[in-house]
Structure 1
Amino acid sequence: MMMVEKKWFIGVDLGGTTIKLAFIDYYGEIQNKWEIPTDKSEEGRHITTHIARALDDKMTELDLTNERFVGIGMGAPGFIEMDSGFIYQAVNIGWKDFPLKDNLEMETGLPVVIDNDANIAALGEMWRGAGDGARDLLCITLGTGVGGGLISSGAIIHGTNGMAGEIGHITSISEGGVQCNCGKTGCLETIASATGIVRTAKDTIDAYSEGLLHKIKEITARDVFDAYRSGDAHATEVVNITTFHLGLAIGNLANAMNPSKIVIGGGVSKAGDALLTPLKKEFEKFALPRVKEGADFAIATLGNDAGVIGGAWLVKSKLMQKS
């Protein structure tokens, strides 16, 4: 039998536009990575076939067989039954009551572990990224939506039916908030996501006719942070609103779980210190003194690789004892 350290893992990160795949070694180093488009036709029924085919083609190209791999760790959006890898619903993909784990195992001939996409990004950052091996970690992804992963004592918290870590759906505005895709109103996602930041900028723009953002036809979250760095009053108001709500949510979460690292990822995190500096100030208003002392903020470092590396960690931590 091949030595354990010589065996590799397969990480798969399913997004609404692309599926990222990687072969990753025992130590978390990516050996090969590539991506394929996400085919959402016919309610996403072809996705597992396309993943299996892509893996098969890459193994043939590199002269590898299933024997080289312990298994597949995959992150998927939506509501997941963790043990069975059954997807109750993934709105952006089209899946409803979809047996993802069973289908993928049948089509690849390899064991499969499934988790939420935000959770595997958090695991990736813990293992090889900004988490720096921290065993108590709060990871927040600010992209088109707001995702999160809660890691306690080195393990993802799933909750009773897989819904733990839905940070984006913490209620930030109790009355008069914007409708969220989840059906509720006033969710953190409607404010702190890239979409939410742009919405706040548009909603407040009339009061700043001389502002830098007034001159931009299609405002992006990046435009807001660029204008903020220039001292623009309108952009400053938008960043203050965003970081207030985000800092309040993170402060409350930190009081509940006492993390040593708070990792901020996703496209909005590219703002770097323009986001972190005002965010830390807001966080410090709401976190207990000892919680604040224990928590270091960091910008995620793995970018698009976080999901596939987290998928590999899933396999390492869940399947190694069986291999």
Structure 2
Amino acid sequence: MGLPAQAHGAKATPLAQAHSHENICRYIARESESVVVSVGYRLAPEHKYPAAYEDCLNATIHFMKNIEHYGVDPARIIVCGDNAGGNLAAAVTQTLAGRSDLPRLRAQILIYPGLQALDFNLPSYQQNGGVPLLFRERAAFCVLQYLNGNALHMQEILEGSHIPPDMRLKYRKWVSPDNIPEKFKVRGYKPHKPHEFKGEVFEKVTRSFEPNLCLLLAEDALVEQLPESFILTCEYDVLRDDGLLYKKRLEDNGVRVTWYHLEDGFHGVISLYDFCGISFPAGKRGLDRIITFIKGL
């Protein structure tokens, strides 16, 4: 659904593809009295990874280097995104961490972000695999489209046969159902045993394990440099556990995290807070909590 933008007269907030997220950007700008810059980046499958990431990174750097033109306080720049945009926002934030030639980001806002392509059998994927607006198969399809421009080997990805045993063991400390609080497993969860590893599939998707795409695989030394973060998750969303796992990674590395969980929320609900006359109260609550976070910085 969405992606990143930047800016704010006192702060800066990145959100998404210009047309699909115009209402959200306008709402955030108005309610938080911010300058909001939305990045229209290249889309898959015509433009594969890392095209979108590079577009968002270049746009952010350009904005930061020309900050006076926008009348924005360089100490109050926020990067924000939802869904795939949450992935891009987190990637931009991680890339800029530690850059001494640019202003330090004040915060990142990640709205039901997709942050890993290792495990499509986490509790939230099992519980919400058939819940609109993002189905389990669709999530894997989108990852492959972004990565390779096609959805070949989707079944192997869903089964987990694309991960070498040594890599699975290495990253288990960060991407594991064990790191999900038990209260999020009560709706039903069965531990998944990965299918036999297939090297030919791994070769096709090897770039999916790069930290700029799979943000949960960034090393601790980088994660601990990240700015204050806001993470929004929804109970009825396959990406819920991506957000929960990243929240833990940030907190484990001393990063301040504000977490807001919509118990009645589903993937994409923020974009539907006021959609063609249909209103979803959960979306409005989530959006207003984001406003509160921005105004409190």
TM-score strictly above 0.5: no
Q: In proportion to residue count, which structure has more strand?
A: 1
Larger radius of gyration: 1
Q: What interval of TM-score do these two structures reach, taking the shorter chain for normalisation?
A: 0.3 to 0.5
TM-score w.r.t. the length of structure 2 is 0.33
